[in-house]
Amino acid sequence: MIVIVTAITYWVIRFGVPRVRAWIAARKAEPAMAALRIPAPKRTVPVPDPLCYECVYAHIVRGYGVEELIACGYAFPMREVLFRVRECSDYRPKRERNRVEIANEGAVCILPLDEKAADFHAVAARRDGEGELESSYD
């Protein structure tokens, strides 16, 4: 008797429960939502130019396409650089700013109070970046 009750219970659970769930879902009559799976765009971080582009020791050869050959001439023999350089212990910029250019970045030129506006160009021509008088007009 126990075997028959167990078999009936098994068949009811196996086939009856899914049918009841499907009948309840059909009675709700809600429209199904379509899920769109749109891949997110890949965000690429812009890679800065290699430090070698601005170095005195770099020898750069560029082709017509994306071909490029960079060699470092800091030590003999020149060695080829096979990757984009972010930091280099031997880096030296091609053009270093001198003290006058660094000082003049935030400097404001103020004329002496006794000079007139008409003499402005002559006074400005006599001064160089360090405040000394220098002119070809004298």
Instruction: List beta partners, residue 68.
Output: 62
* Residues 70 and 58 sit within 8 Å (Cβ to Cβ): yes
The whole-angstrom separation of Cα 81 and Cα 17 is 69
The whole-angstrom separation of Cα 112 and Cα 122 is 13
Q: In what order do the strands lie in the sheet with 58-62?
A: 58-62, 68-72, 79-81
pTM of this prediction exceeds 0.85: no
119 vs 19 pLDDT, higher one: 19
53-110 pLDDT tens trace: 888 899 999 889 888 999 999 988 989 999 888 898 888 887 766 677 666 766 666 6
